[in-house]
Amino acid sequence: MRCFDITKAFNDLGEAKKKRTHLHPRPSSPRHSIEMATQLPTNANVVLKYGVPSVSGVNENENEDSADLVSHPSLASCRTHTLVLGSEMNDADDEQIISYLNSGAFVPNVDALQIIAHKDIWTPRREQHLPSVVAYVTRTITPTKGIQTTVVKCDFPEGTKSSVSIPIDQLFDDTVNDIVNLPGLDTLLLLPPLNAATFLAQVYVFQQQLLRALIKVKTLKKAVVPLDFFACTKDIIEALKEHQGLTSLELAMPTSFSLLALDSYSQILLEVGLLKTLEPFSQLEELVVGKDLLTISELFVEMGQRMFDTRIDSADGQTVCFKDPKRDLLYGRSALSFWGI
């Protein structure tokens, strides 16, 4: 439960914007001032696209690109403008964007700004023009690698936070370095590999890169980890337990192989690794797993029932969510400890 007053925070932000605009009025060109009169309605979310084929500079009154704002409690009710920066950005587009950001009309009419851009397009040179008086979200995308990062920056108590989604066969030195350098990383979504054969051929390399990221970053609140890494699941979960704020964990079903097709030894190896590391997991408030895992492990089902009060089966029957953790001392020992394992 967050204990800050969002309404007061917005009022304080509004007063700060008024003072700044009064003390430091921003010049704007006559041509762009006319454009801004139509581009900045006070009660609409606006999407401006630049460098996107066939729609450069188009103004669309839609909210489909603002999903990331909704997930952030301090920004959910903001009047939001979104800039979509495509791969065909040029100098003329840059001039229009800078004029837009420096417009005096921008500050009083907008609470939050969202940037959606290709990773190579969103450069420090472009970022330096962002106004400091509004909260903003930057979402960078690397289409060829299936990687997406989101950074939310604002002056509210939660401050800056980041999230990243990345296929597990894209965990290389450069991409992991980018991940560990994200400010306030709190959500890590590991996606299925783009190429299952490539992943399986280099699985040890990818799992070591993942462990490097988990050891360097200690701020996660939510993680989705596919069981394609079943051979080192124990090490991964042990690393995740060091993230004291981690409250939500999903163990996604593997896509590079089938759990049900594993031989009995491999199934036992996975089961033992999970049972020995997940119980106890004191900070965990939600655990989501696939039905296949429960099919091969009755002990896992029993563990979930010991750790949590509530079990919710998904409508499609593919996943199970355990939530509402039990805070007593009854599950302090793993089921395997009774067997001396």
Which pLDDT score, from 0 to 100, does residue 124 have?
84
Domains and CATH numbers, the chain: 25-142 (no CATH), 160-341 (3.80.10)
Backbone angles phi, psi at 121, to 5 degrees: -85, -35
CA distance 91 to 94: 5
Which regions of the chain does DSSP assign to beta strands (E)? 46-50, 58-60, 80-85, 112-118, 135-142, 147-153, 161-167, 185-191, 222-226, 248-252, 286-290, 308-313, 319-325
- CA 43 to chain CA centroid, Å, is 28
pLDDT tens digit sequence for 305-322: 999 999 999 999 899 999
CB atoms within 10 A of CB 43: 6
Q: Helix, strand, or coil here: 225? A: strand
Along the 341 residues of the chain, how does pLDDT read in single tens digits?
333 333 333 344 344 434 433 333 333 322 222 222 223 334 456 788 888 875 444 344 333 444 444 445 556 677 777 888 888 888 888 888 888 877 755 666 677 788 888 888 888 888 888 777 667 788 888 887 888 888 887 765 567 889 999 999 999 999 999 999 998 899 999 999 999 999 999 999 999 999 999 999 999 999 999 999 988 889 999 999 999 999 999 999 999 999 999 999 998 888 988 998 998 898 999 999 999 999 989 899 999 999 999 999 999 989 999 999 987 644 444 444 444 44
pLDDT tens digit sequence for 194-208: 999 999 999 999 999
Which pLDDT score, from 0 to 100, does residue 175 have?
94
